[in-house]
Structure 1
Amino acid sequence: MIIILAIVGTLLAPLSILAVQPDEVLSNPVLEQRARAISSNLRCLVCQNQSIDESDAPLARDLRLIVRERLVSGDTDSEVYDFVVARYGEFVLLNPVFAGHTIFLWVATPVILIASLIMLGIFAVRSRNARTASPDLSADEARILEQLRNG
């Protein structure tokens, strides 16, 4: 039983580990919760595949501190996002905004998936037809083929 608990704890531990240091945590739990929600949606510009909430990079720490400073100064969540985007660009957002200039990001994946499935279907049909079609053989070719079959 202890081994099972140890295995489960080991598997679940990475889910709860965040890079937020104790000295970064705000004393107001409501502001801290907002800060965590915002920082989980901002990309670490060093790691690029992690949020700033998960990253140990110094720049991620700086961004976490900026988020908390802005919240303490009274900014709304959208004002914090606007500030960070104005400073670092839209790349800092883990989920891109749905706008005219990002429509390709939202539409390309389903279009490519559908096109790939159509091409795969066409290839499968052609491949099946090529295997089932019997070529027209001349009399000499048919005789040679029969000799090869009979050994």
Structure 2
Amino acid sequence: MASRIPFALIGPRALPAGATVVFFAVLITVLLLSSVSCVREEDLSLEQRAHQLAGELMCPVCDGQTIDGSSAQISQDMRAKVRERLDAGDTNAEIKDYFVVRYGSEILAAPERSGFNLLAWIVPVVIVIGGFGIALITIKNMRKSATQMPPTSAELASASESEDDLTDYLAQVDRDLGIAPKTKTQSKPNASDEAKS
């Protein structure tokens, strides 16, 4: 059953064997990348934690920069305060709370995962999943339309009738414009005309 999961939305045999390999490669990559962010706070050294926190706190006077990437004096002071609080034994959450109390919630580089800010975390995931769903449905419909039956004899007959109607219409337009279509007798010179010349 587990091997059939990727085909649940688009049916069996819809994806070639190579696509299954790609699917599982992407799945493994996503799982590996998500496990990288699951490092426990206790497993990091104080310097690593300081660097991590500096990347999660915004510079209050710089536009769109964290204190890790800013060279402003206040950013340097904030980095020193982070190291000081880490040396005192504070957790990452306590240090963030310290800066939130002092500067407001805008100091955090990423919004908190609660209340209205939760939308900032959920909406991108929903958009990506929706995009994959739309892509799968589109691929399924494209394959379905490519495998549709050829036209029936009735459809072919109506197509030839419409072609005859078009020929009649074009002949009528030529007559109305005074353009006489060449007939077979006009295109061949007469034997008497050849004798005169």
Per-residue displacement from partner, 1:72-96 (whole Å, max 9, x unpaired)? 9x68344432231133333322343
Classify the secondary structure of the residue corresponding to 2:57: coil
- Correspondence for 1:118: 133
**Structure 2: how far apart are the matches of 1:109 and 1:37?**
23
Query: Mind listing any 5+ residue stretches in structure 2 that lack a counterpart?
Result: 1-44, 164-197
**Structure 2: how far apart are the matches of 1:101 and 1:128?**
41
Structure 1 residue 92 corresponds to structure 2 residue 107: yes
**Structure 2: how far apart are the matches of 1:106 and 1:53?**
23
Structure 1 stretches (4+) deviating beyond 4 angstroms?
30-37
Mapped contact 1:47–1:55 kept (Cα < 8 A): no
- Correspondence for 1:139: 157
Per-residue displacement from partner, 1:10-69 (whole Å, max 9, x unpaired)? xxxxxxxxxxxxxxxxxxxx9877654532331335252x5312322444234335545x
- Equivalenced residues, count: 113
**Structure 2: how far apart are the matches of 1:92 and 1:135?**
65
Q: How does 1:20-39 map to 2 (within 5 A)?
A: 35-39=50-54
- Correspondence for 2:119: 104
Q: Which shows bigger deviation, 111-120 or 75-84?
A: 75-84
Query: 1:119 Cα deviation (Å)?
Result: 0.8
- Correspondence for 1:76: 90
Structure 1 length-normalised TM: 0.52
In our comparison, the structure showing a higher alpha carbon Rg is 2
Q: 1:131 to 1:31 in 2, by over 3 A?
A: closer
Structure 2 length-normalised TM: 0.42
**Structure 1: how far apart are the matches of 2:67 and 2:80?**
10
- Aligned to 1:54, which of 69, 74, 90? 69
Classify the secondary structure of the residue corresponding to 2:58: coil
- Percent identical among aligned pairs is 30
Mapped contact 1:31–1:71 kept (Cα < 8 A): no
**Structure 2: how far apart are the matches of 1:97 and 1:86?**
14
**Structure 2: how far apart are the matches of 1:132 and 1:32?**
61
Mapped contact 1:39–1:51 kept (Cα < 8 A): yes
Q: 1:129 to 1:75 in 2, by over 3 A?
A: same
Mapped contact 1:42–1:93 kept (Cα < 8 A): yes
Classify the secondary structure of the residue corresponding to 2:56: coil
Mapped contact 1:47–1:57 kept (Cα < 8 A): no
Per-residue displacement from partner, 1:76-134 (whole Å, max 9, x unpaired)? 34443223113333332234333233322222222222111111111112222233324
